[in-house]
Structure formats: C-alpha cells, structure tokens
Structure 1
Amino acid sequence: MEEKITFCQSGGCTAKLGAGILNHVLEKLPKGEKDANLLVGYDSRDDAAIYQVSDDTAIVQTLDFFPPVVEDPYTFGKIAATNALSDIYAMGGEVKTALNIVCFPEKMDLNILGEIMRGGSEKVIEAGGTLAGGHSIQDATVKYGLSVMGTVHPKKIWSNNSGRPGDRLILTKKLGVGIICTANRVNEASEEAMHAAITSMTTLNKKASEICRKYEIHACTDVTGFGFLGHLHEMMDGRLRCKIYADQVPVFPEALSYADEFLLTAAGQRNRNHVEQYVDFTDISFVMEEVLFDPQTSGGLLVAVKPEQAQALVHELQEAGLPAAVVGEISETDDPQTLQNKEITITK
C-alpha cells in the first residue's frame, strides 16, 4: 500500500510568514555586541549566516523546514532537503554537514517518517555533505527540513544586496511551482505539470552555483517564499533600481493557465501586499504578475553578473540542462528619493 501524507492548508514555502511580518519582528530584536567575525547576519536579510573562522575559511549556516507540498513522503523529503541546501549555494558555499529537523504526529505510521528522511538523506549525499544527526518533536502535523553547515572563502561570499549598476540578472529555474502545487492540491494540475514542478523542486542548485563561481558574480539569492519580486526587492536594497523583461523570464506555461483560473496562494497575495508598492508594471498581464509574486519552493538562483559575462554564463548554464535566462538588468539613480518607491520596472 502506498504511503501518503495529508496536505496542510499551505505547504512548502507557501507556509512561511510574510516578509512584512518578519521585518516588524526582527527590527525589534536586541542585537548585542557586534562580532567582527560574523560577516553576514540576519540584519542584512541575506540567505544564510556567515562566520569567519580563519583567513581562508568561513562557515555558512542556515536552516529551513516546512509542511508537505506533495503527498508522497519520499518526494516531500527530497524537496524539503533540496530547498534547505539551497541557501548554502546562494552564498557561494559548499555543503558540509546537515541535521534533520522533524515534526511528526506520534500516532502516524513511522514508515512515512522513514520515507521522508530517506528522501532528505539522499539529497544531502548528492550535495556532497554528511547527514550528522537531527532533532525531532511530536506535533499535530508533519514538518521536515534541515539545518545545514557549509564553507566558503571569506573573500568569495555572494551577498544578496551587492549588485552593481550595469549587472545583468540571470534566473536559473522556471517560476510557477507554487501555483502548480496549489492547483494540484485541488486536483486541477496535470500530471505533466506536477512532474515538471517536482523535477525543478528536487534539482539542487549545486551545479548552477559551481558554474557561476567561474564568473564575476556581484550578488546572488535563491528565489523561495518571498517570490521572484520579493527577493529581487531585497537585492535592490533601497539603493538600486532594475528593469525586468517579463517575456524573458522562464515560467512553467501551466502556471500561467492555472493563475488565469485564480488557483492562487495566500502567500502570493502577502508577497503582493508587501512588494507591490516598489514595482511598476508596464503592460503586464495579471497572470504574469501573479507568477512573479508566486512563492517558490526550492526555486532557482537569481544572480547579478558582470554584463560582459552574462551571455557566456547563460550558455554554460543551459548546456548543463538548466532553463537559465537573462531576465533583466540593474541600474542606479542619482538620488534615491527619485525612485519614488518604484525600484523595479517590469516590462515586455
């Protein structure tokens, strides 16, 4: 008999708290005395923390977990692990160790938990890391993820907000998995669409990160719960602007169809409420807007690269089988006040 898990109201990265709520809480936390070795902390809104331990080594530390986004436990484990591992790659690092994070109902079949953890373990191994333990608690619903430790050279860190005017923006995975999974939850998604979404969500960003390290990357983030526009807003950091060409953004075509049928996520609407004030849409359809706000589970890397290297980087990413594309470019403004909050322009 095939073991399945029950969907919660929101699974994967659609279950995460909105950026606005997080900002409200984080800005009030006591900071304590600054540690000179803490190169990246939560105050920068980056993908992971980085702590320098020697002249040539810094530790990258992150964690991520969430409720099921698919019914199959093994597949859910792979997706959750791939998503958690991604933050190491978004900082330019290499995965070293991982710890399981498990919330599981005591009365549920333990075979389900075993399959979840098997999927996660396989992804850690694929990443070149070691699963070194974990922690579990009894809970009313299933949640799973990883705490991950990686390493990076202190002078080769990719921050998410260090892009430069002229940089080209490259996205390495298609958008729309949140909408597709929402459609699947109400039995409206095709098998082909779900297969494509699962393939994307279980593809490590390892290869993309390794390829990008050959080029002059100025900034990088992975596109997850805040959606493409939410993470792009963090990259602009209130000091830059950018133009995105919607027809160049890689998107699952089924996601556009399902958005047209209003199969949307509450998290996508939270993303819209938080970021819409910073975005100027120029002749863009409602469904494409929704895809750009859509929370991504285990999404791709969004990198800012030196303009002269953009096409070569995209070509190499595509040769590796990734649906990468140049989706826009960064520019500057002489006076931040002239941005009038519209730091992102979306055009055809």
Structure 2
Amino acid sequence: MNETNPIKLTSLTTKGGCGCKIGPAELSQVLRNLPPAPYDPQLLVGLDTSDDAGVYRLTDELAIVQTLDFFTPIVDDPYDFGQIAATNAISDVYAMGGKPITALNIVAFPIANLDKEILTNILKGAADKLQEAGVTLVGGHSIDDQEPKFGLAVTGTVHPKRVRTNAGAKSGDKLILTKPIGVGIHTTALKNGMLSVEEVKQVTSVMTTLNKETAETMANFDVHAATDITGFGLLGHTSEMAKASKVGIRINADQVPILPRTRELAQAGRIPGGTKNNFAHVQNDVEFAASIDEIDRYILCDAVTSGGLLLSVPADEADLLLNELVENGVNAALIGEVVREHQGKIVVQ
C-alpha cells in the first residue's frame, strides 16, 4: 500500500454498500418494464441477450463496441483500485472480439474529506493500465460524492463479421475459462483483514491482468461464443450463455480454477451478498451433483470483479487454443462442454 495514503479505501463505503452490481433478479424486474428500443438495423448487439457490451455497425467493415463499468473500492491501495477498474471496464470489449481504443473516466469522490493524492493515484493506476492496453484516455466526468467510486466508459472497434457474443455456443463445443474464480470471497475477506500481504497481491494480480492476451490468441480460432466472468459469477454468466444460445451446458466443478483458500474463507463466512444473490437467481436453472455442497455452489456463483473470459470453442480446436493460451501466460482451463440436452440449463458435476 502507498504509505502516504494509509487510509483503507474499502472502509469508506456506506453501511451495506459493496460496490457490486445490482443483482440479476432485481435488474431483470427493472428492465422488463421498459418499452422496447426502436429497431435499428445497425445495432448488432443490444439488450436482448444480456451481452457484455453493445455493438453498433458504422460501415460494412467497421463497428464500434461500447461499454461502461464503475464501482466502489474493493482493495485499499488507490493505485491498484484504478488499475482494477480499468482492467474490468476494458474486458467487455475483449469479450466481444473487439480492440479497445478510447476511454472516459467516471469519478465520484469526497474531495473535501479525502486526501486529493488518493484520487491522483486512482487515476494514475487507470492511466497506466490504459497505456498497457493501448487505449487513449479522451476525457471523463467527476462529481463530489460521499463515497469514492471509479470506472470507465470504453469504446472499441471490431469487424461486423468478427463480433463475439454469448449467443453463439453450439452443441459439442468445449468451454475454456481464462482466470480463476473466488475473487469476491477474497476481496470480502480482505475487507475483514483475513488475507496475508501475499494473498492480497495474488487476488490483485488476477484483477489487474488484462484479457488482452486471451483476446489476441482467440482471434485466430473459430470461437463460437464468449463472455467475461464478472458480477453475476461463473454460473450466472454461463446461464446467460446457455439461454442466449438455446443450448445446455455441463460444467466439471473439479476442473474450474479457484483461488487458493477460497473454500476456507467461504466456510469462515466471507461470502459476499452479491454471491448469495447470484446463487438464488440461478438455482432453478442449475442441477448440482449431490457431491457438490453449499459452499462449492456459492463459490461457483461468486461475484467476480475483472474475471477471465469464458469461451465456447469447437471441440477440434479446444486443445490447441488451450495450449496456446497457456503458452502465452494465460491461466486457462477446460471446464466443461455444450450439449443439446436441458436447453437453457446447466448441469454441474
């Protein structure tokens, strides 16, 4: 942690505030009452499939990818918080098969009550991660708020015929996950002082690792569907893929990469509210093997910040893609498959 700013950022959220997404059930209730957007043939990806970003066609050769994400601090170091927020926001563009090009900062900060250097370091962290991703910061907007929040709106480009969505998974595909889960449980434990310095570094490293290498590697393969694993957890985003693609999905729980000590921390009660909401939302769409207990079910639903990509890949390309990802330094694993049975549902075995 930056010693000139010893304040714990994670202690600054208001009581009950976690900075996590509005739960999928609550969000669904809000959105279902909105009138449908006017039809626009240039809108290639909108609200219909709960995808990671919107895609709008400008020409036959060019479309833009647009996304936005922000949240309250989940780590105490301001610089790390800025890096995590930037990595998380950029990830949606990678998930759509796009190349991020510009970004806008979104800042809420109690400017009269906190050291201004804290905000400077948040912005520095984001700026450094944008530079790593090759993204140009073009501006932003700030407000004086009682608790700090930070994020970015990111724009990318993609060829209209190369857009990846969560709606293209096909029976017979294999599923690859490119980062470990358990981030939400670990960041909740961090707020309660239960992580060692090395464990804080480990979970921060996961959250600040761009999905750039994954995106560049998968561009050479016939990836049928992709999504990034964030607030709705592995099973929440997998459920969206199953429903959007009108397929069934089988997950092998013992093959899912999980951060060390995740189960221990979950057993100690460090399960965030967002994770519990995720589990409640998907439990009717998931069939768990009897050997998978409640703790493991929560872990598979854990609310992730800046997670990996979930890729649905033809079976004959899966091993080659997995090997290339691993060779390129990506912590990827083969975790399941797409099936014809139980359309829109998940079986976890």
Under a length normalisation based on structure 2, what TM-score does the superposition of the two structures give?
Answer: 0.94
Q: Which of the numbers 313, 318, 342 marks the counterpart of 2:321?
A: 313
Does residue 169 of structure 1 match 2:171? no
Picking from 280, 288, 302, the partner of 2:296 is 288
Percent identical across equivalent pairs? 45
Which residue identity is paired with 1:317? L
Q: Tell me how far apart the structure 1 counterparts of residues 327 and 38 of structure 2 sit (CA, whole Å).
A: 47
Residue 214 of structure 1 corresponds to 220
SS in 2 for 1:178: helix
Letter of the structure 2 residue corresponding to residue 45 of structure 1: S
**Aligned counterparts of 2:16 and 2:69: Cα–Cα separation in 1:** 16
Question: 1:43: how far off?
Answer: 2.4
- Residue ranges of structure 1 left out of the alignment (5+ in a row): none
Aligned position for 2:235? 229
Q: 2: distance between equivalents of 1:256 and 1:11?
A: 24
- Quick check: 243-252 or 189-198, which moved more? 189-198
Partner of 1:200: 206
1:48 aligns with 2:50: no
> Is the CA contact (8 Å cut-off) linking 2:9 and 2:77 kept in structure 1?
no
Deviation by residue 1:133-163 (Cα, 9 ceiling, x = unmatched):
0000111100000000000000000011210
Is residue 248 of structure 1 aligned with residue 255 of structure 2? Answer: yes
Alignment of 1:88 with 2:102, yes or no, is no
The residue number in structure 1 matching 2:270 is: 263
Q: Distance in 1 between matches of 2:175 and 2:37?
A: 35
Q: What SS does the aligned partner of 1:180 have?
A: helix
Change (3 A) 1:197 1:141: same
Number of the residue aligned with 1:153: 159
CA contact (8 A) 1:5 1:112 kept: no
Residue 15 (structure 1) aligned with residue 23 (structure 2):
no
Please report how far the alpha carbon of residue 10 of structure 1 lies from its aligned counterpart in structure 2 after TM superposition.
6.9
What is the distance in 2 between the residues matched to 1:41 and 1:256? Answer: 37
For 1:244 and 1:192, the matched residues in 2 are separated by: 30
Of the candidates 53, 67, 70, which is equivalent to residue 75 of structure 2? 70
Q: How does 1:272-283 map onto structure 2 within 5 Å?
A: 272-282=279-289, 283=291
1:328 aligned to 2:336?
yes
Q: CA deviation at 1:89?
A: 0.2
CA distance in 2, matches of 1:10, 1:280: 31
Count residues with an aligned counterpart.
340
Q: CA deviation at 1:332?
A: 1.0
Unaligned runs of 5+ in 2: none
Q: Rate the CA distance shift 1:328–1:26 in 2: closer, same or farther, 3 A.
A: same
Letter matched to residue 189 of structure 2? A
Change (3 A) 1:88 1:10: farther
Aligned to 2:9: 6
Aligned partner of residue 261 in structure 2, secondary structure: helix
CA separation in 2, counterparts of 1:151 and 1:321?
25
Q: Is 1:127 aligned to 2:133, yes or no?
A: yes
Over the aligned positions, Cα root-mean-square deviation in angstroms equals 1.4
Letter in 1 for 2:261: E
Stretch of structure 1 that moved more, 164-173 or 236-245? 236-245
Extract structure 1 runs of 4+ deviating beyond 3 A. Answer: 9-12
Q: 1:287 to 1:253 in 2, by over 3 A?
A: farther
